[in-house]
Amino acid sequence: MRWGIPHCVLQRAVHEFKFPAGEQLFIDSVRKAMAALPPAQRAAFADEVQGFIGQEATHRRIHQRFNEHLARQGLRNAWVSRILARRPLLESLDLRNWLAVTAATEHLTAIFAQHLLTHASALQGAEPRLRDLWLWHSSEMAEHRSTAFDLYVASGGGAAWRVGIFKGVTRQFIVDTLRQTLVNLWIDGSWWRAGTWAEAARFLFGREGLICCTRSARRG
């Protein structure tokens, strides 16, 4: 089950069952938002949205193959059912709510992507194919991080409402990521190693850790 990443928790965080169902959710929200815009605005967003959909569709296909590999290793997908359960609620609300959820999730994943792109030590020692997969994915996440946000604003979405949704999405994102990572650690036996939690602390709160570096970037 090991891919050679030095941080056990990082292995299990990046080896989470990636969410093709979530990526389909993002694609559908952007498509529906485009269809609702006036013709002039649709033309202005055409290239950006086409790029977003193309990249997310590729991610979805690659992640589906990656998930199948993880399943063969014995890992269990505890995330997809929750995504699918939330979809009917999003579809029943004003489309701007769905777009705000997409924008918030894209922002959170872009933070992680930027960390991987700017801190080579995070993937140092990783199996080359896995390292290349994550660097490619990270570059594309960073590239289209603002598409859903731009559409939200163009659709008349307000800042206060977007911030409120962002806070809710952030809480749920942390819970979902933590749950899936802990499931992965439990299955592969790393849960019981004291070093696992020391590695987690260094990855998140160390000098080159995700939380520390994100805070420094905000202050800068």
The average pLDDT across 200-204 equals 73
Type of residue found at 97: N
**Better-predicted residue by pLDDT, 120 or 83:** 83
Taking the CA atoms of the chain, what radius of gyration do you get in angstroms?
18
In whole angstroms, give the CA distance from residue 15 to residue 184: 8
- pLDDT at residue 11 tops 80: no
The average pLDDT across 45-55 equals 94
| Residue 125: CB atoms within 10 Å | 11
- pLDDT at residue 7 tops 50: no
Q: Is residue 15 part of a domain?
A: yes
Mean pLDDT of the chain: 81
Interhelix angle for 39-72 vs 147-154, to 10°?
A: 140
Q: Please give the pLDDT value at position 131.
A: 81
| Residue 88: CB atoms within 10 Å | 8
Q: Please give the pLDDT value at position 77.
A: 73
- pLDDT at residue 14 tops 70: no
- SS3 breakdown of the chain: % helix, strand, coil, rounded to 5? 80, 0, 20
- Count of domains in the chain? 1
Proportion of the chain above pLDDT 70, given as a percent: 85
Q: Please give the pLDDT value at position 38.
A: 95
74: left (phi over 0), alpha (psi -120 to 50) or beta: left
Q: Is residue 190 part of a domain?
A: yes
Return the residue matching tokens 């990656």: 66
Q: Is residue 87 part of a domain?
A: yes
Structural domain boundaries, residue 192: 8-219
- Are 44 and 155 in contact, with CB atoms under 8 Å apart? no
Q: Is residue 3 part of a domain?
A: no
- Are 63 and 151 in contact, with CB atoms under 8 Å apart? no
Proportion of the chain above pLDDT 90, given as a percent: 32
Q: Please give the pLDDT value at position 193.
A: 77
What tokens appear for 98 in the block? 């769905």
**Better-predicted residue by pLDDT, 147 or 198:** 147
Q: Is residue 1 part of a domain?
A: no
Measured at the CA of 191, the angle between CA 185 and CA 197, to 5 degrees, comes to 105
Q: Is residue 59 part of a domain?
A: yes
Q: Is the pTM of this model over 0.85?
A: no
Task: Please name the residues in contact with 109: beta carbons below 8 A apart, sequence gap of 6 or more.
Answer: 141, 145
pLDDT band at 213; cut points 50, 70, 90: low
What tokens appear for 60 in the block? 């979805």
Q: Is residue 112 part of a domain?
A: yes
Residue environment code for 8-36, b if the CB has 16+ CB neighbours within 10 A, otherwise e: bbbbbbbbbbbbbbbbbbbbbbbeebbee
171: left (phi over 0), alpha (psi -120 to 50) or beta: alpha
Q: Is residue 2 part of a domain?
A: no
- Are 182 and 191 in contact, with CB atoms under 8 Å apart? yes
The average pLDDT across 198-220 equals 66
- pLDDT at residue 67 tops 90: no
Measured at the CA of 150, the angle between CA 148 and CA 156, to 5 degrees, comes to 105
